Structure 1
Amino acid sequence: MNARVETHVYGGQGTATHANLDEFGTVATVLNEMVDPTARVGADWRTAGLDLFTIRTKAPICPKIFGARMPQLQASSPEAPTDAANPPNATIQHVSLNYSLVTNHINERADEAVVLAQKMQDLADKLTEAYSMYSEADDLARRLFGEGLQLGTTMKPGLGVLALGATAIGSTIAGSIKEGKFNPIYAITGTSKMHEGMLSALGSAIVNGDQDRSERALKGLEESNEVNQAAGILAEHTSKIRDVLFGNKLTVSQIHPKKGIGETRSIEDTLTNVHDMRLNDVPYGSIAIQKYRREDGSTAWMVTIPGTDGKFDSPFDWLTNMELMSDKHRATADSVRMVDEAMRQAGIQPGDPVAMVGHSQGGIVAATMASDFADKYNIKHVVTAGSPIANHSIKDGITVTSVEIEDELVSALDGAPNPSNPDWVTVSGTSPPMGSDKGTVVEGSGNRKFLTHGMEYMKAAYRNAQEQGGPALYDHEQRFKQTINGTLEETTYWRGKISHGAQGSD
C-alpha cells in the first residue's frame, strides 16, 4: 500500500483537468490529437481516387472498358485456365472493375473523414471551454473561501483558532483510524483548506495590529500580500540576527561532486533533477547549472536549485526564508545572492535564454530571479515545487509552472492562491487517505502517509497531471522545450558559503 496523489490544474491556455471529472480533460486531449490524423485519412482517400484514375488511364486498351463485348472462352479450350473455380466446359465471362462505383465510394469516405475531423475539433473545443469555466469557478470559490476565513478570523480570532484546532484534532483521529496507527500528519491534511486564510489573518494582525479589527478586516479584503508584508517586518530583525551570528560574507566556488544530475529535456526532468541533487548527496548549499548549445548556435541555460538545507553556513538556511518572503528583502537574501553570483561565474549572458527549477526555498529563489532580476537575465521559464510565490511580481511573458500539494502547508505560506493566466499553470495535488486507489502512486511512500512537501509527492503530482492530459500542461511543456532544446555541453556545480568578513567569491 502506497500513498497516492491526484491533481487539478489551474491556469494555462483556458483549460483545467481533474481526475474526478470523468477525465474530460483526457477526452479533449485525445480528440485534439486525433483531428490531424483523421484529416490525413480523408486526404489519403482523395489521393486513392487520383491513383485509381491514373491506373485506369494507364491500363492496356480493353474493349470492355469502352463498352465492347468480349468473346467468351470455354474452360475446356487450351487458352482457358482450369481449376476448382473453373470446372470443365464452364464459360468464363470477362469482368471489369466498376470504376465509377469505386470512385464514388472513395469520395464519400473522404468527405466523411473531413466531417468527422471537424466534429472532433468542435467537441474538443467545447470540452475545453466547459473545463475552463469549471476551473475559473473552482479557483474563485477557493479565493472567496480564503478571504471569508481571513475576515472571520480577523473579527473573531478566538473562534478561528478554535475551529482550526477542532478540525486538526478530528482529522488526526479520522486519518489515524483509517491508517491503523496514530499519524499527526492528518492534522495538516484536514486543515489544508484553511491554511491560506488563517495565514493571511495572521499576517494582517502583524502588519495592522494597531488598527481596529473592522478596518483591518476590510483592508484584508483589498490586499493579498499580508504575509509578505509581515515577513518584511520580521526580516528586519532576523536578517540582522543572522548576520551577527553567522556573518554576511558570501563565497561562491565551483565544486565537482562524485554524482550529479542528468540531462534536462522536459519539466518532469527538472523535478527529477532537483530531487537528485539531494538523493545523490551533492554538498549542501549547492546548485547546478547546465549549458545547452541550440541548433542556431545560441546558448541556453538550465539552473537547478534545491530547497532549504538548514545549515547555518549555507545560503539556504532556515532564516533566509523569512527574507525571501519579504518584497523588500528578497532580492538581497543570501540564497538569491548566491544564485546570482553562480550564474555570473558560469558565464550566463544577458541575452541567453534561461530556465530555472527550484524546490521549496529554491523555487522562491527562482521566482525572485524572474521578478527582480528580469532586466539582468533572460529568464524564460520557471518551475517551482512546493514554493509560496503567489505574490511575486513575475514579469509578463515568463512562463511559470508550479507544483503544489494541498496539505503540504509550505506552498500556502504566502496566504494566497497562485495567479491563473496563460503564462502561469499550477498543478495542485491532493493526497487521498491511505488505501485509496485513486491518483498516482508516490514512490517510496510505503504504507504510511508522511509530509507531502517532499519531492516524492511533487513528482507524483506532476505525473498524475500528465496522465490526465490537457492543453494547458502540453502548452507549458512545449514552451519549456523551446528554451532547452539543444545539446548539453556541460553541467557545473556551484557552492555557496556564508561567513564573517568582507564579501568575496572564488
Structure 2
Amino acid sequence: MVMWEVAASVYGDLGQTSVNLDDIDAMAGRLNHAANRMETLGNIWSCALMQITSIRSRSALCPVLTPDSPGIDKTAASWNRTAACGTLSYTAVRHTTLNVDAMLDACSSQAVKAHELGLDCRHLTNALWDARSLYSNAEHSALMFIGQASQAFINSSPAAALVGGLLVTGGSLAYGTVCEGRFNSAYAIAGSAWAHEGVFAALGQRIARIPAFPTVEGLVSSDESNHAAARLSPLAGALSRGFQGEQLVVNRIEAEGFSSPAVHSVDTALEHLDELGNGLDSGLPHSTICIQRYRLASGERSWLVTIPGTQQDGSSPLGWAQNVQLMSSEDSQRMEAASARFVLAAMSDAGIHSRERVVLVGHSQGGLVAAAIASQQHSLYRIEHIVTAGSPVANHPIPASTWVTSVEMEDELVAALDGSANPERQDWITVRGSVRRSTSSEAEEPSDRTTPVTGSADTRESSHGMNYHRAAWRNADELGAVETHLHNLHLGELLDGTLEENLYFQGELTP
C-alpha cells in the first residue's frame, strides 16, 4: 500500500499564466452553470415521472381490446372516440391506449441521464478548480516574502531565531514521534520547510560577508548562497584534489543488462533519470551518465544527456565537494567542478556538434551541472531545454533561449540551498510538490487531487528521491496544467525522432 501522496503547484512562465487563469475561471463558471441546468432538468423529469404515476393510480383501468373483441366495428375506417376509456382508436385495426409504461420509462431514463450529465459537469468543474489551484503565483509571492522575512529576522536577532528554530523543529519532531511511535528526523526538516530558503540565504550572507545592512540585504538580492559558495569553492576544490585526485578520466563503457528507453516527454525523461540513478542495481558502475542520439525526420540529429545526482564513491567526479563549486556565483568556478568537466568531456566524445540541439536532464547535482553548462556553454552547444529535479538552480544565469523545467519538493532541503525561489520568466516553470500521508485504504483509489508516490516507505522519509519528483510532475501534468503540456511538447519536438544509440560514459578522479 502506498503511504505517501504528492500534490503539486506550478509557477513561472509569465507569458502563459495570467491568460490561462482567466480562461480557466470562465470555463469553470460555464461548466458550473451547465451542471446546475442539468440538475434542474433532471428534477423536472423526476417530477414528471411522479405526476404520471399519480395520474395513473387515480384513473380507471382500461382493457386493451383486440380486433376480435366484442363491440368493435371491424369494417369502420375512421377514428372513433371510445367512451369506456376516453381515447381515440382506429377501430378497424385495434383499440389503442396511451402507453403509460413507456412514458414512465422515458421520464426515468431522461432524469438519470440529466443527473449524470450534471454530475459529469460538476466533476469537470472541480477538476478545473484543482487545475486553477496549480497556478500558485500568489503562494509563490507569499513564500518569497516569508523567506525574506526569515532572513531579516535571523540577521537582526540570531539568538531569538535560534530559539524559534529549535521550538519549531522540536515541535515537529514531537509530532512525528507521536505519529510513528519513534524518533524520525525527517519531521524536523518537513516542519521547518517554510523557512529553509530564508535560513540558507541568511547563512550565505554571513559566509560571504556581505556588509552594508544585513537585515535588509535579502530584500534587494537573492544570490547570497551563491556568493557564499564562491567564497568556499577554493576550499572545496582543494579538498577534492587532495582526497579524490586531480586527474579526470572519462571512459565510454558498455552497459550490459541496462537499457535506456526513448524519451519523448518530461515524464519519460524523469523516468529514465530515475532508472539511471538506480543503475548500480542493474550492473552499471558508479558515476555513469547516458547520452542518447536521435535522428529527426529532417535528417538532423538531436541529443539527450542524462546526469544522475551526487555519488557516494570517493573517486566520483559527482562527489560532495563539486556541489559547492557548481553553486558558485563565479562562472570559472562552476566550470572547474569535476562533474561539469566530466559531462562536457563526454559530450565531446559523443560527437555532439555546435549546431545540433541538446536536452540536459539531471537530478540534484546533475541538475546543477545542466544549469551550469546551459549558462556557460551556450556558445559551444545549442542547449534548447534542461530539466532539473531537486536542484538549487534559481540564481544560475541560464539564457532566455533555453527552456527550463524544474521539479522541486517543498521539504527536500536540497532545492532550497540557493536561498531563493526560482525566477518567474518566460519558458521557465517550477513544479513544486507537497507531501502528505495517504488517507486512502487499500481498497480505495488515491484522491484525484494527489498522486501516490511509488516505492515510498511506511514512515516519513526525505522527499529528495526521484520517486517523489516524478509523482509531483505527474500530479501537475494529469491535472491539466497548461505549462506542463507546453514543456512536454517542446521537449518532445526536440527528440521527435528515432533513438539511434545509447552512449554510456563513466567518470573517475585519480591522483
Q: TM > 0.5 between the two?
A: yes
Deviation, structure 1 residue 195: 0.1
Instruction: Give the gaps of 5 or more residues in structure 2.
Output: 32-76, 78-89, 94-120, 441-445
Q: Secondary structure at the match of 1:208?
A: coil
Q: Is the CA contact (8 Å cut-off) linking 2:8 and 2:134 kept in structure 1?
A: no
Task: Give the aligned length.
Answer: 406
Deviation, structure 1 residue 432: 1.4
Residue in structure 2 matched with residue 386 of structure 1 by the alignment: 390
Residue in structure 2 matched with residue 173 of structure 1 by the alignment: 174
Q: Secondary structure at the match of 1:430?
A: strand
Deviation, structure 1 residue 260: 3.4
In 2, the alpha carbon distance for the partners of 1:271 and 1:3 equals: 19
In 2, the alpha carbon distance for the partners of 1:372 and 1:460 equals: 31
Larger mean Cα displacement after TM superposition, 479-488 or 181-190: 181-190
Say if 2:508 is the partner of 1:493: no
Deviation, structure 1 residue 134: 6.2
Q: Secondary structure at the match of 1:449?
A: coil
What are the superposed Cα offsets for residues 186-206 of structure 1, whole Å, 9 maximum, x if unpaired? 100000010000110000011
Q: Is the CA contact (8 Å cut-off) linking 2:370 and 2:386 kept in structure 1?
A: yes
Amino acid paired to 2:304? M
Deviation, structure 1 residue 10: 0.8
Amino acid paired to 1:382? I
Say if 2:381 is the partner of 1:377: yes
Residue in structure 1 matched with residue 142 of structure 2 by the alignment: 141
Residue in structure 1 matched with residue 265 of structure 2 by the alignment: 266
Q: Is the CA contact (8 Å cut-off) linking 1:324 and 1:330 kept in structure 2?
A: yes
Residue in structure 1 matched with residue 400 of structure 2 by the alignment: 396
In 2, the alpha carbon distance for the partners of 1:463 and 1:369 equals: 27
Residue in structure 1 matched with residue 192 of structure 2 by the alignment: 191
In 2, the alpha carbon distance for the partners of 1:313 and 1:5 equals: 35
Deviation, structure 1 residue 25: 8.7
Q: Is the CA contact (8 Å cut-off) linking 2:277 and 2:309 kept in structure 1?
A: no
Q: Secondary structure at the match of 2:219?
A: helix
Residue in structure 2 matched with residue 283 of structure 1 by the alignment: 285
Residue in structure 2 matched with residue 416 of structure 1 by the alignment: 420
Residue in structure 2 matched with residue 457 of structure 1 by the alignment: 468
Q: Secondary structure at the match of 1:316?
A: coil
Deviation, structure 1 residue 160: 1.3
Q: Is the CA contact (8 Å cut-off) linking 1:25 and 1:470 kept in structure 2?
A: no
In 1, the alpha carbon distance for the partners of 2:180 and 2:239 equals: 43
Residue in structure 2 matched with residue 38 of structure 1 by the alignment: none
Q: Against the structure 1 CA distance between its residues 179 and 25, is the aligned structure 2 distance closer, same or farther, given a 3 Å change threshold?
A: farther
Deviation, structure 1 residue 330: 0.8
Deviation, structure 1 residue 388: 0.3
Residue in structure 1 matched with residue 70 of structure 2 by the alignment: none
Q: Secondary structure at the match of 2:146?
A: helix
Q: Secondary structure at the match of 1:222?
A: coil
What are the superposed Cα offsets for residues 361-416 of structure 1, whole Å, 9 maximum, x if unpaired? 00000011111111110011100000000000100121100000000000000000
Deviation, structure 1 residue 430: 0.5
Q: Is the CA contact (8 Å cut-off) linking 2:400 and 2:426 kept in structure 1?
A: no
Deviation, structure 1 residue 174: 1.4
Residue in structure 1 matched with residue 231 of structure 2 by the alignment: 233
Amino acid paired to 2:198? G
Deviation, structure 1 residue 434: 5.3
Q: Secondary structure at the match of 1:196?
A: helix
In 1, the alpha carbon distance for the partners of 2:288 and 2:382 equals: 22
Q: Against the structure 1 CA distance between its residues 156 and 232, is the aligned structure 2 distance closer, same or farther, given a 3 Å change threshold?
A: same
Deviation, structure 1 residue 180: 4.2
In 2, the alpha carbon distance for the partners of 1:236 and 1:453 equals: 27
Q: Against the structure 1 CA distance between its residues 167 and 351, is the aligned structure 2 distance closer, same or farther, given a 3 Å change threshold?
A: same
In 2, the alpha carbon distance for the partners of 1:432 and 1:132 equals: 17
Q: Is the CA contact (8 Å cut-off) linking 1:26 and 1:468 kept in structure 2?
A: no
Amino acid paired to 2:288? S
In 2, the alpha carbon distance for the partners of 1:397 and 1:319 equals: 30
In 2, the alpha carbon distance for the partners of 1:382 and 1:301 equals: 12
In 2, the alpha carbon distance for the partners of 1:235 and 1:400 equals: 26
Task: Give matches, 1:57-72, under 5 Å.
Answer: none
- TM-score of the aligned structures, taking structure 1 as reference length: 0.75
In 2, the alpha carbon distance for the partners of 1:4 and 1:27 equals: 28
Q: Is the CA contact (8 Å cut-off) linking 2:410 and 2:433 kept in structure 1?
A: yes
In 2, the alpha carbon distance for the partners of 1:497 and 1:333 equals: 13
Q: Is the CA contact (8 Å cut-off) linking 2:9 and 2:135 kept in structure 1?
A: no
Q: Secondary structure at the match of 1:432?
A: strand
In 2, the alpha carbon distance for the partners of 1:222 and 1:196 equals: 15
In 1, the alpha carbon distance for the partners of 2:429 and 2:27 equals: 20
Instruction: Give the gaps of 5 or more residues in structure 1.
Output: 32-75, 77-86, 91-119, 501-506
Residue in structure 1 matched with residue 46 of structure 2 by the alignment: none
Residue in structure 1 matched with residue 215 of structure 2 by the alignment: 217
What are the superposed Cα offsets for residues 116-156 of structure 1, whole Å, 9 maximum, x if unpaired? xxxx9xx99xx89x959963322211111111110111011
In 2, the alpha carbon distance for the partners of 1:235 and 1:440 equals: 39
Q: Against the structure 1 CA distance between its residues 135 and 278, is the aligned structure 2 distance closer, same or farther, given a 3 Å change threshold?
A: closer
Deviation, structure 1 residue 176: 3.0
Q: Secondary structure at the match of 1:5?
A: strand
Task: Give matches, 1:107-122, under 5 Å.
Answer: none
What are the superposed Cα offsets for residues 152-200 of structure 1, whole Å, 9 maximum, x if unpaired? 1101111112211111111121133234443221100000010000110
Q: Secondary structure at the match of 1:319?
A: helix
Q: Against the structure 1 CA distance between its residues 133 and 237, is the aligned structure 2 distance closer, same or farther, given a 3 Å change threshold?
A: closer
Amino acid paired to 1:316? L
Q: Is the CA contact (8 Å cut-off) linking 2:134 and 2:481 kept in structure 1?
A: no
Deviation, structure 1 residue 348: 0.3
Task: Give matches, 1:78-157, under 5 Å.
Answer: 131=132, 135-157=136-158
Q: Secondary structure at the match of 1:276?
A: helix
Deviation, structure 1 residue 243: 1.2
Q: Against the structure 1 CA distance between its residues 134 and 285, is the aligned structure 2 distance closer, same or farther, given a 3 Å change threshold?
A: closer
